[in-house]
Amino acid sequence: MQWTNNKFIITLGISIVLALGMISVVFGVIYLSSGGDIPVPLPALLMAFAIVFVLGSVFFEDRGADRVGALVGGSIVAAIVSLTMMLVCGGVLYLLTNGMETGIDKIVSMLAVCMVIGMAAFSYLRAHR
């Protein structure tokens, strides 16, 4: 399969992926707040944290941060990635177990709103690079 160079298709795809990620995070928060267990095994979560911490620290050190700043930046990025991973997995579990109770109309409406928000964020970030 060959990737397309059509900017409309690429932008639509990015918008859909961002929307699905946002919906998963929202349902992950609902899953965890309703008393669900941690959806990611702790060793996998710690390994993801460690890998992102090391890569983030090296990234910030290469960009000119001092050692303490690189460590703090790496830990912040690792915490955000670990939390996002946990929320997305929780959201997928919530949708698999309670998806029919939520209703397809609500999920499609959420997808439409998140696509608009994702497109606005993507356009803003693309213009400011």
| Torsion sign (Cα): 105, 108, 114, 116 | negative
Please report whether residue 83 resides in a domain: yes
Residue 3 lies inside a defined structural domain of this protein: no
Per-residue pLDDT band for 10 (boundaries 50, 70, 90) equals confident
**Residue 54 has what pLDDT?**
96
Q: Taking all residues of the chain, what is their mean pLDDT, rounded to a whole number?
A: 88
Q: Is residue 90 part of a domain?
A: yes
* Domains: count for the chain: 1
pLDDT at position 72 over 90: yes
In a domain? residue 25 = no
| For residue 58, pLDDT beyond 60 | yes
Q: Name the token pair of 60.
A: 């910030």
Q: Is the pLDDT of residue 3 over 80?
A: no
Q: Which two tokens stand for residue 92?
A: 């997928």
pTM: predicted TM-score of the whole model, two decimal places: 0.79
User: DSSP class of residue 64?
Assistant: T
Angle value at C-alpha 124, between 12 and 64, nearest 5 degrees: 115
Tokens 């439409």 sit at which residue? Answer: 112
Residue 84 maps to a domain: yes
51 falls within a domain: yes
Range of the domain at 112: 39-123
Q: Is residue 21 part of a domain?
A: no
